[in-house]
Amino acid sequence: MKRIKNLKDLQVNQSKTADHVVSQRLDESIPLQTEDWQKVEQILMRMTEFAPTSIINEVVSAIASYADDQAKRGYLLGQEDMVQEIAQRQRVA
């Protein structure tokens, strides 16, 4: 029973490590200053004139969380596609 628990702990730790590696890779590779993000910043600045700061902070946090999740999903999908492509090339060769 203890071995199974240790195996589960190892899998959880490996998953956390993999998530950290993906996050670090995305942080290093995705530009933060883009035209699209500048538009979002401008809209948020205009919204601060009418909405409380706490609501603006919630919106920014939700946008960042969503974008981070989508980037991770895209990265992982790209990795899966790359593995499939390599496997296909190995079968052909």
Q: Is the pTM of this model over 0.85?
A: no
The whole-number pLDDT of residue 15 equals: 61
The whole-number pLDDT of residue 4 equals: 55
The whole-number pLDDT of residue 62 equals: 92
Instruction: Tell me the mean pLDDT per 10 residues along the chain, length 93.
Output: 56 65 76 82 88 89 88 86 87 80
Question: What is the DSSP code (8-state) at residue 93?
Answer: -
